[in-house]
Amino acid sequence: MSDFTAYAVATVSSPLTSLADAPRQGDEGAPDAWLVVDPRYAEAARDMRPGADILLLTWLDRADRTVQVVHPRGDLARPEQGVFSTRSPDRPNPIGLHRVTVREVDGLRLRVSGLEAIDGTPVLDVKPVLDPISDR
């Protein structure tokens, strides 16, 4: 078996509503956003605390999954590269990886800073940053 079904465990609520508005990386000026945790996963999220640095894995549901080569950052002056060597959202499995900081916890809503994902983006997983150097 080589197909796997992932579920949204949370959804991004953000003032960023279009890809045109979204910075390409979260350190390029993204506003605060909220993660709205699905109540079915409340237990998994129960120990989230303000100040925590976390990794979010999202499903970039507007991506083009047929794309295998891109000009990095859409810059036509740069030669095409295989998407596994880029952070293009267009890729066979459009999973976004975002490092953010939890600023506020309000029940099943988590406010985070530094998230470049647009409003409505599904969240697949939340992991702690284990090591500031390696992120292992």
Using CB under 8 A as the criterion, which residues of the chain lie in contact with its own copies when the complex forms?
1-9, 25-27, 41, 43-48, 52, 54-55, 57, 59, 61, 68-69, 81-87, 91-93, 95, 97-99, 122, 124-128, 130, 132-136
Closest approach of its own copies to the CB of residue 20, in Å: 20
Structural tokens at position 127: 């992991």
Nearer CB in complex with its own copies: 21/129: 129
* Rounded Cα–Cα distance for residues 18 and 13 (Å): 12
Q: Which of 96, 112, 125 has the alpha carbon at shortest distance from 8?
A: 125
Structural tokens at position 104: 């506020």
Nearer CB in complex with its own copies: 15/27: 27
Closest approach of its own copies to the CB of residue 26, in Å: 6
Q: What number of other Cβ atoms are within 10 A of residue 34's Cβ?
A: 19
Give SS3 for 38: coil
Nearer CB in complex with its own copies: 15/80: 80
Nearer CB in complex with its own copies: 21/99: 99
Closest approach of its own copies to the CB of residue 5, in Å: 6
Is the four-CA dihedral 58, 62, 66, 70 of positive or negative sign? negative
